[in-house]
A = this chain, B = another copy of it.
Amino acid sequence: MDLYSVIGRRRDVRCEFTGGPADPSVLQRILEAAHAAPSVGLTQPWDFVLIDDPGLKERFAEHVAGERDRFAASLSPDRAQTFSHIKIEGIRESSLSVVVTYDPTRGAPAVLGRYTIADAGLYSTCLAIENLWLAATAEGWGVGWVSFYREPFLSGLVGLPPAVRPVAWLCVGPVTHLEEVPDLERAGWRARRPLAEAVHRNGWDRPSAD
């Protein structure tokens, strides 16, 4: 599928997972796409923990539900009302989940390009996640990034070594369709920002002439 079509179709999926079989050859192509991402010093500091164990998914879903409740309690009544209609994850419904992690020890200590910016390896891991997301979209699958969790809980759940940090829990798998408008915009949570507001030229205070 054409890159721009994929970028335009990609959504953060919560509601549209079919739970149908996850074709291993599709999964392999998606993981290869992620693994082809750029990385600082060519460290490829990511790992992918595939989760299809129902018990693990259930324990994570329960943890996320608790964090959702805590967030809801922090909101004003108006925002809490809007939030109450928003589904924030598809952990049980999606065919599988992929925990993406970052290992700062890979290639260390002298990581070319991470000398001045400690977070550069974390950035690389996110580039791999976007490749994974786009590849899944091209394959007719969906991806939903769940971020209502505490990192130590997830590290314990999947048994990460102490140095390794969880970066994302991604719900992944076939979907019935992809929505055209992001869920949060349809639910009235937040509207998208015009690109022109985000573009500056030769300094923050000088907007682009384009």
* Interface set of A (CB-CB < 8 Å, partner B): 1-4, 6-8, 10-12, 24, 27-29, 31-33, 35-38, 40-44, 46-53, 56, 67, 70-71, 74-75, 79, 83, 86, 88, 107, 110, 112-117, 119-120, 122-123, 126-127, 129-131, 133-135, 138, 145, 147-151, 158-161, 164, 167-168, 182, 184-185, 189-193, 195, 198-205, 208, 210
Contact = CB atoms under 8 A, between A and B. Distances in A.
Contacts of A48: 198-200
A189 B41 CA distance: 8
Nearest to A198: B47
B43 A190 contact: yes
A190 B36 contact: no
Given A47-B200, A116-B147, 11 more contacts: A1-B3, A31-B199, A48-B199, A48-B200, A49-B202, A107-B190, A116-B148, A122-B122, A126-B126, A127-B130, A158-B203
Q: How many copies does the complex hold?
A: 2
Given A24-B210, A32-B195, A38 B3 contact: no
A119 B74 CA distance: 19
A102 to B, nearest CB: 10
B204 A112 contact: no
A204 B158 contact: yes
A151 B7 contact: no
Given A3-B6, A148-B115, A192 B44 contact: yes
Contacts of A40: 145, 147
Nearest to A143: B38
A49 B201 CA distance: 5
Contacts of A133: 38, 127
B42 A184 contact: yes
Contacts of A130: 37-38, 126-127, 130-131
A184 B41 contact: yes
Given A38-B12, A195-B31, A115 B74 contact: yes
